[in-house]
Structure 1
Amino acid sequence: MPKVVFFLVPKLHLLDLAGPAQVFFTANDLGYQHDLYYVAEAAEIVTAQGVPVKAQLDWPDLGRDDLIVVPGWRSPRLSPSAPISAGTAEVLREHHATGGSVASVCSGADALGAAGLLDGRRYTTHHDLTDELAARYPKATMVRDVLYVMDDRVITSAGIASGIDLALHLVAVRCGVEAAARVARQMVVYARRNGEELQESAMLRHRGHLSDLAHRVQDVIDRQYTCRLPLTELARGAGVSERTLTRIFTTATGLTPLRYQQVLRLERAEHLIGHGATVESAARAVGFEDARMLRRLRARD
């Protein structure tokens, strides 16, 4: 079971911690298991909002499938140095060097920079801190006005609520985009994606609506998009007429059920082709009888 370790610093923002932690906690409830840990350099951390948080002092054993997340702390302006010890910086460096992933929310990027993990990489942070961090870490490339950036297992996010978006992206990468969509729906948040690898997944791009019926039909299509899914069967499963299903689904997602399925197939086929598959083998893998329909869809899109 992969571990997710949150490293806590004094005056951390509650939502920077609670948002991503809730994503992984909800994923656990849905069967996508992670072990959650909370580590700090003191047994108790007082958050920016005044709530004390207990933490363990010892790091668990970490492997390449595990993730360290550094939530942000209250920092209208950055302190002269990141509030982490040399020992913690070494843990971050060593974990990444051995194949693990390291993430930050908001000013947590300062901790990654102090550990040398931003050098030569693209990253982002809260808009109030971009100029300061860009000056502090000139060997790194600041990406402004995005929710999060992923570069060689170093994942940074803009701050506060964007930590939820970052965590949903990581669930999508680790457990699949359907898992991330289910978590977002359970948390009653938009499954937002923005500008980086996998962030434009169709399974999430068309989930930003409040129609429970459309979500339930999308769940079916997401699981079985390589199969033949007649509208009559989808409507029967949803308990509505074909006409009603088409109207509600199209209003919610902007696509008909058939077009939504085609978009999923096309997206997966493009991924396979990008990784060396032929058009013919990609077409078969996503459920087309031959490559003609796939070629037509690629030409149209």
Structure 2
Amino acid sequence: MTHVVLVLTPGVHLLDLAGPAQVFSTAAELGRAYRLSYVGDQERVDSAQGLPLSARTEWPPDLGPDDLLVVPGWRCPRRTPGPPFTDQTLARIAAHHAAGGTVASVCSGAQALGEAGLLDGRRCTTHHELQDSLAHRFPRAKVVRDVLFTTDDRVVTSAGIASGIDLSLHLLAARHGPAHAAQVARNMVVYARRNGDEPQASAVLRYRSHLNDTVHRIQDLIDTRFAEPLTLDQLAATADVSPRTLTRLFTRATGGLTPLRYQQTLRLERAEHLIAHGATTETAAHEVGFTDPRMLRRLRSRTAS
């Protein structure tokens, strides 16, 4: 069971909170072991939009490295000297990361991560209107501009408001694979999913901005089995259409990719992720289904050029 703890403060933006909460609760409904808790320094938390919320003042006692803390943003952070959290709450956030856990923020929630000492020397982002303030307050942070989210050593930060959904889908893809993240997004009717600056997830997040259910079903299959040999005839039979029809539907929905090119793109991006984490080209090629490492080298060369 993975515990997702959302840390609330007065003035919290509802969508900053609701986006991640919906993603992980949907993942739980689809069979993943997630449990959500809402904590704060006080039991009643008035949102920026006027809706009162309830929070627990006692933190879950059994948080471990697999659990996740999420700090949603709040209204008008620039008018206050710092995040409206107690030192005790900031210390809990820092301690969770020190124990091997992941800490994430949405929008101005990055200010709390900075106050907890988690942004020093790390890449981070926030809402575009708050980036200058974040960089000024935390000069050792590496503020990345114009991206939806960043991840650096289990510190994950996202831009404003709706980007918390993109961040949460990215975390699901990293934990359970792109197919599960795609399933959650489809359940939420979030077809136009957007990628942050992590290229290994971009194909899944970039080529789903359509409403063709036949193509989504084939993408789900390819996402799950991208390392296996999949012929166009097999895919067409799964969709109960002819190979020609499937190719036509797929290229129209994805903006020009054939099913096999889509599979190849998934393989390439997964291989890039493995190589970035220390794998050799030969090992990465084998892991993603290329029988000849030279094919992977050629694809990487084309992408680089």
Q: TM-score range by the shorter chain?
A: over 0.9
Q: Which residue number corresponds to residue 82 of structure 1?
A: 83
Q: Which amino acid aligns with 1:58?
A: E
Unaligned regions of 5+ residues in structure 2, if any? Answer: none
8 Å Cα contact 2:12-2:48 kept in structure 1? yes
Q: Note the C-alpha offset of 1:275.
A: 4.2
8 Å Cα contact 1:78-1:132 kept in structure 2? no
8 Å Cα contact 2:200-2:269 kept in structure 1? no
Find out whether 1:163 has 2:164 as its counterpart.
yes
8 Å Cα contact 2:201-2:269 kept in structure 1? no
CA–CA distance in structure 1, aligned partners of residues 282 and 157 of structure 2? 38
Find out whether 1:194 has 2:206 as its counterpart.
no
Q: Which residue number corresponds to residue 289 of structure 2?
A: 287
Deviation string 1:182-228 (CA, Å, 9 cap, x unpaired) is 1111111122102236443x222222222111111111111222222
8 Å Cα contact 1:70-1:105 kept in structure 2? yes
Q: Which residue number corresponds to residue 230 of structure 1?
A: 231
Q: Which amino acid aligns with 1:264?
A: L
Query: RMSD of the alignment, in Å?
Result: 1.8
Q: Which residue number corresponds to residue 130 of structure 2?
A: 129
8 Å Cα contact 1:78-1:129 kept in structure 2? no
Closer, same or farther in 2 for the Cα pair 1:103/1:277, shift >3 Å? closer
Unaligned regions of 5+ residues in structure 1, if any? Answer: none
Closer, same or farther in 2 for the Cα pair 1:134/1:255, shift >3 Å? same
Q: Which amino acid aligns with 1:23?
A: V
CA–CA distance in structure 2, aligned partners of residues 79 and 290 of structure 1? 58
Closer, same or farther in 2 for the Cα pair 1:135/1:270, shift >3 Å? closer
Q: Which amino acid aligns with 1:47?
A: S
Q: Which amino acid aligns with 1:260?
A: Y
Closer, same or farther in 2 for the Cα pair 1:217/1:39, shift >3 Å? same
CA–CA distance in structure 2, aligned partners of residues 183 and 80 of structure 1? 38
Q: Which residue number corresponds to residue 114 of structure 1?
A: 115
Q: Note the C-alpha offset of 1:277.
A: 4.2
Closer, same or farther in 2 for the Cα pair 1:129/1:276, shift >3 Å? closer
> Which shows bigger deviation, 271-280 or 103-112?
271-280
Q: 2:299 aligns with which of 294, 297, 300?
A: 297
Aligned ranges 1:26-41 → 2 under 5 Å? 26-41=26-41
**SS of 1:129's equivalent?**
helix
Closer, same or farther in 2 for the Cα pair 1:250/1:38, shift >3 Å? same
Q: Note the C-alpha offset of 1:10.
A: 0.3
> Which shows bigger deviation, 273-282 or 77-86?
273-282
Deviation string 1:229-263 (CA, Å, 9 cap, x unpaired) is 22122112112111111001011112111111122
Q: Note the C-alpha offset of 1:122.
A: 1.8
Q: Which amino acid aligns with 2:196?
A: N
8 Å Cα contact 2:77-2:108 kept in structure 1? no
> Which shows bigger deviation, 272-281 or 191-200?
272-281
Report % sequence identity: 62
> Which shows bigger deviation, 4-13 or 104-113?
104-113
Q: Note the C-alpha offset of 1:117.
A: 1.4
TM norm structure 2 = 0.92
Q: Which residue number corresponds to residue 269 of structure 1?
A: 271
CA–CA distance in structure 2, aligned partners of residues 251 and 196 of structure 1? 26
CA–CA distance in structure 2, aligned partners of residues 106 and 17 of structure 1? 10
Closer, same or farther in 2 for the Cα pair 1:208/1:109, shift >3 Å? same
**SS of 2:236's equivalent?**
helix
CA–CA distance in structure 2, aligned partners of residues 97 and 80 of structure 1? 25
Q: Which amino acid aligns with 1:176?
A: G
Find out whether 1:255 has 2:257 as its counterpart.
yes
TM norm structure 1 = 0.93
